[in-house]
Chains A and B, each alone.
Chain A
């Protein structure tokens, strides 16, 4: 699902899990972090850029913190610019040299 988001044109993906030790599914958030870490590595290996995905842990009562994290992440992604997928779709595919730079 995380990779699908990039296929559908996302420049970055934020994953929000419960606070560690406070998950309704006991260790669901810990397992989610491991899955996000895998996607991080996949994005790194294929030159999309690992920092386009990030996981945060928040409780349902931390609205202000959620907004702050979102603004921070959006700013980070805006600094990176469009993902290589979106660049390719706009007619600027990744060059081999660019690929090395990304990885």
Chain B
């Protein structure tokens, strides 16, 4: 899922300073699962903003909504009839959802209520960790199902670097060395031949280096 963290309330209040009626829009997608932008978070943030503003004598009217997904156009349309009745939209979806809202509703300022994080997994309730950087050229079949791009701080492709000590990464003693994890897994799977195979250089042209990416599926159009 796409993860995120709430923006500090002071930052949100500063963004909202010019406005006295807004829509606060959540999303039932990834940000609901990682407890940062779903229906419940909409209610908590709306109450927080109303309390902060009213205590300062500057009341704000907030319409609370939670869309099925902010990254699909059909789920944005229900907002169209009323979006221009409000001065701004504060979205607590991921950066993709917020931008899509901004593209669809061009006459209304869009404000981000969260900082979008990474593609990750739920370790346990309240803890999420990164697994994928969307490089566009997956090698998990060669690396025991552990991603060297994400799990290695340097995203290197030829085994642990000199900063790997007792299975930990030099960037943080709490972080496991991605390549140590890969080698341990390959040994366990009896697939160390994958490690010694010469591999062509990784093509990063499918990653971020070529600017914003696009997927076009002719069979789906």
A binds B: yes
Cβ-neighbour of A93 out of B8, B44, B47, B55 (below 8 A): B55
One of B8, B13, B48, B55 near A88 (C-beta < 8 A): B55
Q: How far is the CB of A30 from chain B (nearest CB, A)?
A: 12
Closest chain A residue to B58, Cβ basis = A93
Is the Cβ of A3 less than 8 Å from the Cβ of B55? no
- Interface size class on chain A is 10 to 19
B57 touches A46 (CB 8 A): no
A46 touches B55 (CB 8 A): yes
Q: How far is the CA of A13 from the CA of B55 in the complex (A)?
A: 17
Q: Which residues of B contact A6 (CB under 8 A)?
A: 47, 51
Decide if A94 touches B51 in the complex (CB within 8 Å).
Answer: no
- A48 vs B57: C-alpha distance when bound (angstroms): 13
A99 and B57 CA atoms in complex are apart in Å by 12
Supplied contacts A6-B47, A48-B52, A94-B56, 12 more A-B pairs, CB within 8 Å: A3-B44, A3-B48, A7-B50, A46-B9, A46-B52, A48-B51, A84-B55, A85-B54, A85-B55, A88-B56, A88-B57, A93-B58
Do A48 and B10 have beta carbons less than 8 Å apart?
no
The answer to the question of A45 belonging to the interface, with a C-beta cut-off of 8 Å to chain B, is yes
Contact residues in A for B13 (Cβ distance below 8 Å): 46
Could you give, for residues 23-60 of chain B, a 1 whenever the CB lies within 8 Å of some chain A CB and a 0 otherwise? 00000000000000000000010011011101111100
B residues in contact (CB < 8 Å) with A: 8-10, 13, 44, 47-48, 50-52, 54-58
| A89 interface hit (Cβ, 8 Å) | yes
Whole-angstrom distance from the CB of A2 to the nearest CB of chain B? 9
Residue of A nearest to B126 (CB): A34
A15 to chain B, nearest CB (A): 15
Residue contact A42 to B9, C-beta cutoff 8 Å: yes
Question: Chain A, 1-24, contact with B by CB distance < 8 Å: what is the 0/1 string?
Answer: 001101100000000000000000
Tell me if A47 is interfacial: C-beta within 8 Å of chain B: yes
19 A–B contacts, CB within 8 A, in A order: A3-B48, A3-B51, A4-B47, A6-B51, A7-B51, A42-B9, A42-B48, A45-B8, A45-B9, A46-B48, A48-B52, A84-B55, A85-B54, A85-B55, A88-B54, A88-B56, A93-B55, A93-B58, A94-B55
Among A6, A46, A84, A88, find the residue whose CB has the most chain B CB atoms closer than 10 A. A46
A93 touches B56 (CB 8 A): yes
Chain B residues near A3 (CB-CB < 8 A): 44, 47-48, 51
* Distance in angstroms between the alpha carbons of A48 and B55 in the assembled complex: 8
CB distance from B48 to the nearest CB of A (A): 5
Q: Measured between C-beta atoms, what is the minimum distance from B127 to chain A in Å? A: 13
Q: Are B51 and A93 in contact (CB under 8 A)?
A: no
CB contacts (< 8 Å) of B55 on chain A: these are: 46-48, 83-85, 87-88, 93-94
| CA gap between A7 and B48 in the complex, in Å | 9
